[in-house]
Amino acid sequence: MEKTDKRKFSGGNGAPATGPAACCDGLIETAVVTMAPDKTARLICPRCESSMRIDCEEFQGADGQVQIRHACACGHAYLLFLERRREPRKPARMFGVWARASGGPKRSMIVRDISRRGIRFESEIRVPLSPDEPIIVAFYLNNGQRVPVRKKLRVRGADGAMVRGEFIPMGPMATETERACDRAIAHFLLSDEGNEGR
């Protein structure tokens, strides 16, 4: 059973790292973690894949984006972004492809996190995308069943090769395959499956 670490995680000056200025120099690798209902978050080291839980109660009412510096027992240090939204966004590492809905070549991508509302993915190459531009993504959930997902997204933001998109809601004429995708995503988010694939 995982133990909850109640140490104060902080920025370099000893204060909680809750703003852009608290970003730690030299830490290139980042990860997104979600605050659970019990006000804890599960961390998984990108290097050794060991896991632990931290107490996040002190960050619950923080303004803006919460950044936490963490050093694993294996010696690897990285920067965490704490997700506090009601619909949690689950870290992931799922391979797939994307293309403009209007047509064009398919590009390889890696899904970096996912929620019921959308995904954040890293494209193999940087492609200029406009806000609200529709694109189509296809990938496999990295669970035991490797359920295929094909969804239409509306671009919400892009930073270099990193793209944030929101799933376009299905209409009343949605197919059973489309509804099955949504059910599979919902189940994936509630389970512990996929954490080992990060």
Give the Cα separation of 160 and 41 in Å (integer): 28
Instruction: Provide the whole-model pTM.
Output: 0.56
52: alpha, beta or left? (left if phi > 0; alpha if psi -120 to 50): beta
- CATH hierarchy code of domain 90-197: 2.40.10.220
One-letter amino acid for residue 45 of the chain: C
pLDDT in tens, 44-69: 887 888 888 888 888 877 766 688 88
Question: Of the candidates 100, 68, 61, which has an alpha carbon nearest to the alpha carbon of residue 84?
Answer: 61
| Domain spans, the chain | 4-83, 90-197
pLDDT in tens, 92-134: 999 999 999 999 899 999 999 998 889 999 999 998 898 899 9
